[in-house]
């Protein structure tokens, strides 16, 4: 019986992961026009949950799922006065000047988050948060966003 209790304790100790979690709350607009500079910017509202409060100073990586080469890395400003405290909240991420490209192979981050192959007139953006200590969370993705011509 003691070995079973020890195994449970080891598993519980290994499951304490300080990586921040991201949940997409919204993405706007739901249609982009890549050739029109006034209509090719995206705002993604991301809920975060960070158990040790060191998300500030980290990075929000926004993966354009049309190709692996398009990753926008945004520095996250300081959030908590002290680390070591559980924090939750919302980040507003702005990805500007989204252009027209031919979709290539699905990036690994998008594939791991369950994104299917994209149609040529559709884009999906996945956000992965990395805290100041380098812990990367699981991430989340937008709903498909329509790409239109003017």
Domains contained in the chain, CATH given: 17-147 (2.60.40)
Please state, rounded to an integer, the average pLDDT across all residues of the chain. 88
CB-CB contact of 31 with 40 (8 Å)? no
Give the DSSP letter string of the chain. Answer: -HHHHHHHHHHHHHT-----EEEEEEEE-SEE-TT-GGG--EEEEEEEEETTS--TTSEEEEEETT-TT-EEEEEPPP--SSTTS-EEEEEEEEE--PPP----SPPHHHHHTTPPPPPTTEE-EEEEEE-TT--B---EEPPPEEE---
Checking if the pLDDT of 141 tops 90, the result is: yes
Task: With cut-offs at 50, 70 and 90, classify the pLDDT of residue 5.
Answer: very low
Token pair of 45 as six digits: 């509202």
**How far, in Å, are 14, 46, 146 from residue 138 at the CA level?**
17, 13, 25
Checking if the pLDDT of 9 tops 60, the result is: no
Question: pLDDT at position 17, please?
Answer: 52
**How far, in Å, are 20, 71, 103, 127 from residue 24 at the CA level?**
13, 17, 22, 8
Query: What's the average model confidence in pLDDT over 27-47?
Result: 97
């Amino acid at each position: 019986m003691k070995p079973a209790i020890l195994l449970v304790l080891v598993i519980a100790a290994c499951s304490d992961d300080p990586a921040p979690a991201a949940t997409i709350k919204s993405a706007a607009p739901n249609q982009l026009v890549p050739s029109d500079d006034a209509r090719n910017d995206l705002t993604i509202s991301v809920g975060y949950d960070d158990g040790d409060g060191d998300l500030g100073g980290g990075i929000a990586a926004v993966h354009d799922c049309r190709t692996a080469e398009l990753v926008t890395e945004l520095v996250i400003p300081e959030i908590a006065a002290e680390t070591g405290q559980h924090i939750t909240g919302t980040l507003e991420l702005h990805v500007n000047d989204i252009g027209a490209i031919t979709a290539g192979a699905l990036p690994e981050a998008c594939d791991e988050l369950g994104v299917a192959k994209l149609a040529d007139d559709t884009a999906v953006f996945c956000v992965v948060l990395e805290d100041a200590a380098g812990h990367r969370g699981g991430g989340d993705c937008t709903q498909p966003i329509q790409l239109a011509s003017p």
